[in-house]
Amino acid sequence: MTPLTSAAPVADRAPVELSPTAVLLDLDGTITDSAPAITSAIAESLAAFGYPAQTPEQLLRHVGPPIRDGLLELAGVSETDLEAVVEHYRTIYAERMLDVSLYPGVPELIRVLHAAGMPLALATSKMRHMAVPILEHAGLAQYFTVIAGATADESRSTKADIVEDALAGLTAAGIDTSRAVMVGDRHHDVDGATTHGIPAVLVRWGYSRPGEEVGAFGVVHDAAELAAVLGVVRG
């Protein structure tokens, strides 16, 4: 097997099989297809405060990054309105956040990884107190040693912060993170992993746009391909 630290990134092709000691997984766009719930809540919130409507493609860009970053940079929300728009969005989103589908093969892969003894951590930019019930509703929370997400006060909200917290939680549980791997669908996942010196595998079934694979160890297109990359056989 190729050592993680020496493998060159390969765009839009699966990397060689890895031998990770732990796997960190993103949530939105990786495990759950949460776009309809998120984008509808954003659209309604922008309309409520008089901001121009965005196209479906523009709204999709909000899925993945921290909500404040998206509203400021992608929707042009002013600093003056930001907190009120965020609060409005979160009120709407909380009512529909459990109404999401799971990507084909991903829940099964999570169960197989767990059964094989692979330590798993969730590393999501979503607030942790929202991520936990979503995983519980999906019947997957019990497979994760650590569930890391943005803190309620948002003092920890960047993907680099969250990857750091996930790795720290795994280490505190006595898990070897020397060959941890991050799996996600956006460049934020790649960047957050790279900050901490771990490779990222970008999944193409989520919300990535062309170019977001830059810096990733490799790219996969379905759960079976991801399973092969992580060195597990799905039965």
By annotation, the residues acting in catalysis are: 26
Number of H helices, E strands in the chain: 9, 8
Answer whether 18's CB lies under 8 Å from 199's CB.
Answer: yes
Counting beta carbons within 10 angstroms of the beta carbon of residue 183, is it exposed (0 to 12), middle (13 to 18) or buried (19 or more)? buried
Answer whether 4's CB lies under 8 Å from 181's CB.
Answer: yes
Q: Where are the beta strands (DSSP E) in 16-112?
A: 22-25, 32-33, 101-102
Q: Which of 226, 134, 201 is nearest to 147 (CA)?
A: 134
Q: Is 117 left (phi over 0), alpha (psi -120 to 50) or beta?
A: left
